[in-house]
């Protein structure tokens, strides 16, 4: 039994002369074409032989039997088809006459393929534009592109969009190449059956490897994020995590945890701790904590004093992203507030510190090295107390 060997195709399908040359070179090494796939070709091993290959293009995927018989009478044996491309071979010593002796006539056989590829290219480009429009709206409309990257939820979609863009580019090249080939045939220039295929083979192989690795890894990201995502009720005692605790800010021994208002999956979402992962921020924590001081009222006497605090912590893969992430967090949480209300302050232990304070609420945005922290506090404690707790927790 002849052993099958699979080879990555050397170049794009529309490069007819290069494919013919490749088949010939493989036969000279004892590998005879048997089947063509989207990316690979199957060969069977045999004795090396000098063979000629020709590709004929039809308007349909099935070549008529009468045409195969006619070519057979001229010394060409049918080998296989891929799409509208049909491969024939002939031993070189038989010196079979060419399938097409008139280039202009051969150009006519490419007319339907030319239309089809032009349609495919137009559709792919429209799809690419729509995808880019959708991605741009997600990335830019909120004005928080760094936050979107750090969050990680759009990485797979972004890589998919790049892949679609490459596909559109590939479709456009196919359409232009076939049109150019038709033009050259009409001008009486025959196909070069010995065209060099090695250069495009290297490019094609590198691109296929790169896209396989990148798309494969991007497909893993959502599953990795799900596996690492975890939310639990925040313990009342101390935890060795970079989050600011309400008790440290309040420093009131009478404060107790507020009664749970929303429980789901056995998690008190008013006192919860979530951890997440993304390629650009492998360590992420988000916590909410709420308390109450029995018998104590808010300063405006609006009710029982019930402070709350929210913390977000990001440890970034690249420290150079920290400043942009702080800026995006300000944009994300400022709502209708003016940017003028967010004041940058200097602190010896922080690379960047931005503070926003209004009645009953303080926000602190901080960066130190590869760490970024955002704290939103509702309570009577001074903002300086919140800042010092951020300094103590950010790493």
User: Going residue by residue through the chain (395 aa), what tens digit of pLDDT does each one get?
Assistant: 568 999 988 767 788 999 999 999 999 999 999 999 888 899 999 999 999 999 998 877 788 889 999 999 999 999 999 888 999 999 999 889 898 889 888 898 888 889 988 999 999 999 999 988 888 888 787 789 999 999 887 888 888 888 889 889 989 988 999 999 999 999 999 999 999 988 888 887 888 788 888 888 888 888 999 999 999 999 998 889 999 999 999 999 999 999 988 899 899 999 999 999 999 999 999 999 999 999 999 988 889 999 999 999 999 999 999 999 999 999 999 988 999 999 999 999 999 999 999 988 999 999 999 999 999 999 999 999 999 999 999 96
Q: Which residues contact 350 (CB under 8 A, 6 or more apart)?
A: 366, 367, 368, 390, 391, 394
Number of neighbouring beta carbons within 10 Å of residue 95: 9
pTM, rounded to two decimals: 0.74
> Can you give the pLDDT at residue 208?
78
Number of neighbouring beta carbons within 10 Å of residue 79: 19
> Can you give the pLDDT at residue 63?
86
Q: What is the radius of gyration, based on Cα positions, of the chain?
A: 33
Cβ atoms of residues 269 and 288 within 8 Å: yes
> Can you give the pLDDT at residue 356?
97
Q: Is 274 exposed, middle or buried (0-12, 13-18, 19+ CB in 10 A)?
A: middle
Q: For residue 267, what are its two tokens?
A: 């998690």
Of 357, 340, 354, residue with least CA distance to 390:
354
Q: What are phi and psi of 28, to 5 degrees?
A: -65, -20
> Can you give the pLDDT at residue 359?
86
> Can you give the pLDDT at residue 59?
76
């Amino acid at each position: 039994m002849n052993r099958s060997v699979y080879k990555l195709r050397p170049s794009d399908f529309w490069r007819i002369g290069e494919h013919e040359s490749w088949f010939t070179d493989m036969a000279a090494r004892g590998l005879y074409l048997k089947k063509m796939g989207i990316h690979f070709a199957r060969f069977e091993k045999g004795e090396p032989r000098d063979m000629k290959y020709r590709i004929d293009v039809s308007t349909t995927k099935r070549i008529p039997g009468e045409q195969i018989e006619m070519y057979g009478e001229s010394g060409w044996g049918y080998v296989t088809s891929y799409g509208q491309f049909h491969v024939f071979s002939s031993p070189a010593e038989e010196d079979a006459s060419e399938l097409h002796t008139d280039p202009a006539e051969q150009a006519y056989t490419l007319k339907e393929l030319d239309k089809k590829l032009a349609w495919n290219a137009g559709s792919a480009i429209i799809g690419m534009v729509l995808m880019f429009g959708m991605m741009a709206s997600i990335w830019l409309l909120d004005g928080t592109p760094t936050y979107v990257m750090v969050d990680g939820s759009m990485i797979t979609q972004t890589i998919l969009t790049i892949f679609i863009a490459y596909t559109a580019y590939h479709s456009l090249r196919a359409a232009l190449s076939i049109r150019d080939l038709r033009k050259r045939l009409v001008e009486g220039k025959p196909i070069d059956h010995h065209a060099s295929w090695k250069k495009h083979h290297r490019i094609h192989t590198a691109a296929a490897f790169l896209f396989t690795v990148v798309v494969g890894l991007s497909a893993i990201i959502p599953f990795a994020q799900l596996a690492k995502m975890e939310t639990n009720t925040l313990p009342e005692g101390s935890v060795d995590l970079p989050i600011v605790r309400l008790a440290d800010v309040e420093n009131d021994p009478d404060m107790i945890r507020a009664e749970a208002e929303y429980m789901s999956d056995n998690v008190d979402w008013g006192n919860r701790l979530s951890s997440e992962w993304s390629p650009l921020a492998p360590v992420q924590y988000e916590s909410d904590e709420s308390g109450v001081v029995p018998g104590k009222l808010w300063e405006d006497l609006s009710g029982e004093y019930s402070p709350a605090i929210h913390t977000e912590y990001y440890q970034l893969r690249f420290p150079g992203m920290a400043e942009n992430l702080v800026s995006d967090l300000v944009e994300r949480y400022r709502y209708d507030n003016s940017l003028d209300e967010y004041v940058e302050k200097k602190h010896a232990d922080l690379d960047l510190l931005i503070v926003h304070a209004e009645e009953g609420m303080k926000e602190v945005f901080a960066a130190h090295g590869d760490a970024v922290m955002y704290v939103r506090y509702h309570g009577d404690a001074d903002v300086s107390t919140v800042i010092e707790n951020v300094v103590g927790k950010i790493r």
